[in-house]
Amino acid sequence: MRILILGAGAVGLTVAAMLSEHAEVYAVCRKRYADAISADGFVMTGIWGEKTCRFPCGESAPAGSWDYIIISTKSAATREICEKYHHLFGDAEIVSLQNGIGNEEIIGEYTSHVIGAMIITGFEWRGDNAVFVSVDGGKTMFGRFPKGTDDAARKLSVLFNASGIRSDVSSDIKSVVWSKAFYSCSLNPLGAVMECPYGELRKAPAWNIITNIVSEAFAISKAEGVELPQKSASAYLDFLMQEKIPPTAKHYSSMYQDIISGRLTEVDYMNGAIVKLGRKHGIATPVNEMMVNLTHFKEELR
Ligand SMILES: NC(=O)C1=CN([C@@H]2O[C@H](COP(=O)(O)OP(=O)(O)OC[C@H]3O[C@@H](n4cnc5c(N)ncnc54)[C@H](O)[C@@H]3O)[C@@H](O)[C@H]2O)C=CC1
Ligand SMILES: CC(C)(CO)C(=O)C(=O)O
Mark residue 90 as left, alpha or beta (left: phi above 0; alpha: psi -120 to 50; beta: remaining): left
Nearest alpha carbon, ligand 2 atom 7: 120
- The stretch 222-229 carries a mean pLDDT of 96
Task: Indicate if ligand 1 lies below 6 Å from the C-beta of 72.
Answer: yes
Task: Indicate if ligand 1 lies below 6 Å from the C-beta of 172.
Answer: no
Asked if pLDDT for residue 189 goes beyond 90, the answer is: yes
Closest CA to 157 of 147, 148, 170, 145: 170
Residue 285 Cα to ligand 2 midpoint, Å, equals 23
- The stretch 16-45 carries a mean pLDDT of 98
Share of the chain above pLDDT 90, in %: 99
pLDDT digits (tens, 9 = 90+) for 62-118: 989 999 999 999 999 999 999 999 999 999 999 999 999 999 999 999 999 999 999
pLDDT digits (tens, 9 = 90+) for 124-177: 999 999 999 999 999 999 999 999 989 999 999 999 999 999 999 999 999 999
The ipTM assigned to this model is 0.98
- Work out which ligand 2 atom sits closest to the CA atom of 256: 9
Taking the C-alpha atoms of residue 242 and residue 184, their distance in angstroms, rounded to an integer, is: 16
Give one DSSP letter per residue of 60-89, joined into a string.
Answer: SPPSS--SEEEE-S-GGGHHHHHHHHGGGT
Asked if pLDDT for residue 302 goes beyond 90, the answer is: no
- Work out which ligand 1 atom sits closest to the CA atom of 263: 17
Q: What is the pLDDT of residue 224?
A: 98
Q: What is the pLDDT of residue 66?
A: 98
